[in-house]
Amino acid sequence: MNRDKKYIAWVILLLSFLATIFGPTITLARTESLMRPVSRGEATYLILNKFDLKNKKRAFLNACAERPAECFFVFTAMSDFDDIAFEPFLKLYPDVTEKYRYYSAIIMASMLGLIHGYMDEEKTPFKPEIVMTRIQVLKVILGAADLLRWKERFELSPAELEKNDTFADEALSNPEKWWYPRYLDFAVIHGLVPEGDLFRPDEPVTLGELMQILDSTQNYLAENN
């Protein structure tokens, strides 16, 4: 028994020693991981999981899966991809097949109207492996949380199109990026993103930034529901 106790004590001592040596390395690795950019496919997957939309929207998703042609009527009309298929697998984008690791998340998010492909490009690709920008992530998160639904430009009031003075980014005054101010203003007013001089809407979002907005949004929902 004494020999067993000595062995356990030695193991604990060894683990403590290793933690002392490799602890900073592990911390650095975690920090570097949070600083890496997140792709459109991965971001979609993380957002859907965070809000458990597979279960929360199960009834809608099942109904959509049963009547895909009806569900994706508007989507199909807007898309330039001629090979959209509803069976045996849903194929909505030329670059997202059923074998792609984030296929299910992208299909679900498309059903819910949270994401779509690049409508101004031939065949309307989704581009799942390119990075998602900070403003794109904010848009998808607010939609996934049922906090702000998408509106076309003609639906917005002059106030919703007006740039807020919280951030000085030139992109927020760009007429071609008319939807940016509405999402960013909502996020600032409700404390979902920290205030600062610049928001950098078109820069790649990092994993840490994505998680920060997700956590802030989830906390807001918990406090206001």
Evaluate whether 167 touches 198 at the Cβ level (below 8 Å): yes
The answer to whether the peptide bond before residue 128 is cis (omega within 30 degrees of 0) is no
> What's residue 164's pLDDT?
73
Write down the residue that tokens 């918990």 correspond to. 222
What's the mean pLDDT in 17-45? 72
In whole angstroms, give the CA distance from residue 208 to residue 198. Answer: 17
User: Would you tell me the crossing angle of helices 103-111 and 40-50 to the nearest 10 degrees?
Assistant: 70
Q: How many CA atoms lie less than 13 Å away from 217 in the CB half-sphere?
A: 25
Q: Is residue 157 part of a domain?
A: yes
- Say what the pLDDT of residue 31 is: 59
* Residue 118 and residue 205 in one domain: no
Whether 9 is covered by a domain: the verdict is no
Query: Per the structure block, which two tokens stand in for 57?
Result: 């929207």
Indicate if 125 and 145 belong to the same structural domain: no
Supply the range of the domain harboring residue 166.
Answer: 133-225
18 occurs within a structural domain: no
Residue 222, C-beta contacts closer than 8 angstroms, at least 6 positions apart: none
Tell me: do 192 and 212 sit in the same domain.
yes
> pLDDT of 147-186, one tens digit each?
999 988 899 888 888 777 788 888 888 889 999 999 999 9
Distances in Å between the Cα of 21 and the Cα atoms of 13, 16, 18, 32, 191 are 13, 9, 5, 18, 39
Task: Indicate the pLDDT class of residue 26, thresholds 50, 70 and 90.
Answer: very low
Q: Are residues 189 and 154 in the same domain?
A: yes
Same domain, 212 and 137: yes
pTM of the model as a whole: 0.84
Over residues 72-117, the pLDDT tens digits come to: 999 999 999 999 999 889 999 999 999 999 999 999 999 999 999 9
Number of domains in the chain: 2
Residues 96 and 169 in one domain: no
Among 75, 110, 131, which residue terminates a domain?
131
